[in-house]
A and B are shown apart, each in its own frame.
Chain A
């Protein structure tokens, strides 16, 4: 296997592309008790339209997520129970971009890895089991629709983007999942669950070569065709609508503010944009900025305030969210601060501090195997290595960060989503 050392952050990563096209990444961690394995496909909630063997498919919203639920079924029973019976904690998630299956366990790691690779690569759906799942997923959809934070986020997506599929909920709706049949699931599995479209990332006290051997043994021997995806035409910088509001049972208004960015290009530039975007938020409204202190002091934000740079294939944005009595005032204050930074620049002392702080935070984040493995899987699909951040981070300049603020934090790129309490009757 190819060995990559990231000495500055004390990490080693081994990589091998197997004969069937599967990319395997291993982070050896001899001093830990538990091993963690993450097996992911480059297929997420927004991949609804795709082309396989020259034929275009339009699938209902929620298929990737439905598939994730049903993958645990095996001809013999249920893989979730097989893993749990070995003391592993298995789970899975579907994001806009990817679907990932994982477990961690302190015992029987190899046996668990075999189960994981097997159930994800061998589909087993029956009409009865697919129909039954509709009830469970319907309940899950009901539950997230009751969550005001989720509602606020989905509304922000609708406001920021004109047509990009990130506007559609990963789980779909009760109506959209009604159309899903075993055939839909088999077709999507065939299109995206090929080893050549997947990665396996493992961290723990493991033998890296042995991980590759297990993968060779369980998975198909050869790579198959991979579907091409379509997200529609390129998004314009302008938001679809600048304000969106919903009324739900909440104690205080909650808000999500978004600034639409340029769609990232795959490769290390994508990582660079993520780092620059993160730093931009830190110097604009981060917890050590004068703006944050002012908003907090004036009671316009509280401890719930958070912010992040988000990106998917074909879209990127900066987001800030929290609870506020006056979300519009928060939005206006950020706009004013961005304009000030455009005129006067960022305070150099703040820049130096923030850079040091963000760096330390990212390094601390490497404690988490999940962070390492999921991070590397996502990074690989986006064309870079997750741990390259330490070197790239060093080279980012204050000017670059200021330029992103000036470009992105503008009126036409801003959207505000608010969930307010229902009026008393």
Chain B
């Protein structure tokens, strides 16, 4: 069995360790958690990519890659995530576990040191980020922002969230926007980086075969140059309880062969902090979270109205987002049916197999989280962002107790806020 610990390395700098021998690799991540904000999102998102270009010791990608190859092909990737209204930027790393090194070398210590070096000893020019790296990564980030349009399914959900939360921080994309990224200078970015190091809450994560004490020692050494700061900010998340008087409809046309219909609901203030959370989580699964769900079984399978139709929960923000792919002409029928299925959940018209199947799926997912280092990291980062301490197994246990009426009750709180429809261009 694995053992989970959490300890404070420095003020506002936390280390979570999962001690286990199950894996061939050890997983290491370091995340700076900052309030999501239109003014800083682009800069925050850019920082890990610029840092990943080179350090004072390994000044270019080539020498960094060589260092990683020496550590048996370790990977350290810049990561930008959004948890509620917290922007999480940093690095996720995976290394061969010490047990499989061909000559019995230690890999954890040099790996942690390299991670610390990337965060704290960047390659600089004239006291700030090197202009070349900044310009190159700015261009890459802008490409990534523009490329979001390529995957229409994700794009439709993103546009829905933007429209629905245009007056909330949640409407800000985790990558920022093109305009603010374009305006960044090496000097300005450097200043943001310094502030982030002082003000962000830092979450470090390790999963692997090393004992927690050894991990703590390795990371304390690796992060010793992190500024000592008493004012690391714990980001908040605004929850709007109700939708507007009438749902907002947003339509866009593009040159696509399949239409995308997305619907955004408010959960009436139900979030991961509420006691009713397990019921809401299960309600969304029954509605559209699994292949047994009402959306999948009825809208897709029985009526063939969509190629896909599913619902996801933004548990900190209190949103339910429905995403579907449809033929253009089926807009009204599909929308009516998607809403009719929600009505069925609200009325408690849930068969045993629907309820139990969804419950088993969610519980299975909780247990399976323990078998996957990446998913486990994602889970614990989410918990850190929300300030919650329970683990996947406790979540599973709470799902066991949810009743049909509680599921219906949770669904009754949903209010349709915004509808987004991506249609084809008229010829």
Contact = CB atoms under 8 A, between A and B. Distances in A.
Interface of A: 9-10, 31-34, 78, 80-81, 84-90, 104-107, 132, 135-136, 139-140, 142-143, 145-149, 248-252, 286-290, 292-293, 296-297, 299, 302-304, 323, 350, 353-354, 356-361, 363-364, 366-367, 422
Given A80-B291, A81-B357, A292-B61, A323 B143 contact: yes
A147 B94 CA distance: 30
Interface stretch (B163-171, B198-206, B218-226, B359-367): B359-367
8 contacts: A84-B292, A86-B357, A105-B364, A146-B256, A249-B149, A287-B65, A357-B73, A363-B72
Contacts of B257: 142-143, 145-146
Contact of A107 (B62, B71, B256, B364): B364
Interface in B32-54: 49
Interface range on chain B (Cβ under 8 Å from partner): 35 or more
A297 B364 contact: no
Contacts of B136: 296-297, 299
Interface in B324-378: 325, 327, 353, 356-357, 359-361, 363-365, 367-368, 370-373
Contact of A251 (B60, B150, B367): B150
Contacts of A78: 301
Nearest to B52: A303
Given A132-B304, A139-B327, A87 B24 contact: no
A303 B140 contact: yes
A-B CB proximity, top 6 nearest: A87-B360, A360-B72, A357-B73, A288-B65, A357-B69, A139-B307
Given A34-B371, A360-B100, 16 more contacts: A32-B371, A33-B370, A81-B292, A81-B357, A84-B361, A85-B360, A139-B325, A142-B307, A297-B132, A299-B136, A350-B66, A353-B70, A354-B69, A360-B73, A361-B72, A364-B73
Contacts of B95: 360, 364
Contacts of A288: 62, 65-66, 68-69
A132 B60 CA distance: 56
Interface in B56-110: 60-62, 65-66, 68-75, 94-96, 99-100, 102
A353 B368 contact: no
B300 A85 contact: no
Interface string B300-332: 110010110000000000000000010100000
A299 to B, nearest CB: 6
Contacts of B72: 356-357, 359-361, 363
A356 B143 contact: no
Contacts of B100: 9-10, 360, 363
Interface in B138-170: 139-140, 143-144, 146-147, 149-152
A318 B149 CA distance: 28
Contacts of B359: 87
B297 interface: yes
A366 B361 contact: no
B73 A107 contact: no
B306 to A, nearest CB: 7
Interface centre among A10, A248, A354, A356 (most CB of B within 10 A): A356
A207 to B, nearest CB: 19
A33 B258 contact: no
A90 B291 contact: yes
A30 to B, nearest CB: 10
A249 B255 contact: yes
Contacts of B379: none
B290 interface: yes
A10 B307 contact: no
B292 to A, nearest CB: 4
B17 interface: no
Interface centre among A88, A354, A360, A364 (most CB of B within 10 A): A360
Nearest to A85: B357
Contacts of A136: 300, 304, 307
Given A9-B100, A148-B150, A252 B371 contact: no
Contacts of A90: 291
A358 B257 CA distance: 40
A185 B99 CA distance: 49
Contacts of A363: 24, 72, 96, 100
A143 B309 CA distance: 14
Given A31-B21, A139-B307, A81 B297 contact: yes
